[in-house]
């Protein structure tokens, strides 16, 4: 986004978006399914010091903070955000909503600089989770394909040993942006649904390809279920 190249415009847009989302979150009319699954993970994490991993699709980033509001009843969470300019905007917005980020890019064989950023981010995430924190990831981001789970999520779960929760979020009415994943922006007083699945773990002996396929299906399933709960008729992901 070209406007984000201006520091002044960036600051203004961050304040506007974070303020809008904070206000809108308070007005959403939520239906929740499987919340006890998340609460069980939160309670165990606080009691044992074990970390946790939250997975949601990239198109749900603007409503991600609503799934894990900060409080004493759950572990502190951080969010993986890319090192791009758009990622800087997202990181600043969610920071104002109370969620710090870990910055890193997906690994690319042709880009040594991004490889270094991605590797450092992965180490930071592993340390954070092993120390008892929670980590939110969008396993099809930051570039897609839409709702295709990349293996970084499996790798983080295997190395950290932490349980993974899947959450699907939908709302109606909402704005769908013309981005690669049709990112949703909530509208005030919308019907909203949050559907949980898990927890699951990644054992060292498990096949990463099998896990990635299974987790992808489960994350898409809770997303579709959330859309059904709010009566959304056009919620299917756009495949490219």
For the chain, the domains span 2-230
pLDDT tens for the chain, residues 1 to 240: 566 667 888 889 999 999 999 999 999 999 999 999 999 999 999 999 999 999 999 999 999 999 988 777 888 999 998 888 888 888 999 889 888 888 875 544 444 445 556 788 899 999 999 999 999 999 997 888 999 999 889 999 999 999 999 999 999 999 999 989 999 999 999 999 999 998 999 988 889 999 999 999 999 999 999 999 999 755 455 443
What is the torsion angle, in degrees rounded to the nearest 10, for the CA atoms of residue 210, residue 126, residue 41 and residue 189? Answer: -90
Task: Tell me the whole-structure pTM to 2 decimals.
Answer: 0.87
CB 196 within 8 A of CB 33: yes
The residues, any chain, with a CB within 8 Å of residue 101's CB and separated by 6 or more, are 78, 79, 80, 81, 90, 91, 94, 95
Q: Where does 2-230 sit in CATH, by number?
A: 3.40.1130.10
């Amino acid at each position: 986004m070209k406007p984000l190249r201006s520091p002044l415009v960036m600051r203004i847009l961050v304040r506007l978006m974070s303020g809008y989302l904070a206000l809108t979150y308070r007005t959403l009319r939520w239906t929740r399914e499987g919340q006890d699954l998340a609460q069980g993970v939160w309670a165990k994490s606080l009691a044992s010091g074990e970390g946790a991993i939250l997975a949601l699709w990239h198109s749900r980033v603007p409503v991600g903070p609503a799934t894990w509001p900060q409080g004493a009843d759950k572990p502190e969470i951080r969010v993986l955000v890319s090192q791009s300019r758009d990622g800087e905007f997202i990181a600043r917005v969610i920071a104002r909503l109370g969620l710090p980020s870990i910055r890193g890019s997906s690994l690319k064989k042709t880009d040594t600089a991004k490889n270094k950023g991605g590797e450092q981010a992965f180490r930071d995430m592993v340390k954070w989770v092993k120390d008892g924190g929670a980590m939110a990831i969008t396993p099809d981001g930051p570039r897609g394909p839409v709702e295709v789970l990349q293996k970084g999520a499996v790798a983080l779960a295997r190395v950290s040993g932490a349980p993974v929760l899947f959450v699907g979020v939908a709302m109606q009415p909402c704005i769908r942006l013309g981005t690669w994943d049709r990112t949703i922006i909530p509208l005030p007083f919308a019907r909203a649904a949050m559907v949980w699945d898990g927890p699951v773990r990644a054992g060292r002996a498990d096949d990463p390809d099998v896990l990635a396929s299974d987790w992808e299906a489960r994350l898409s399933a809770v997303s579709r279920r959330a859309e059904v709960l709010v009566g959304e008729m056009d919620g299917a992901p756009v495949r490219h």
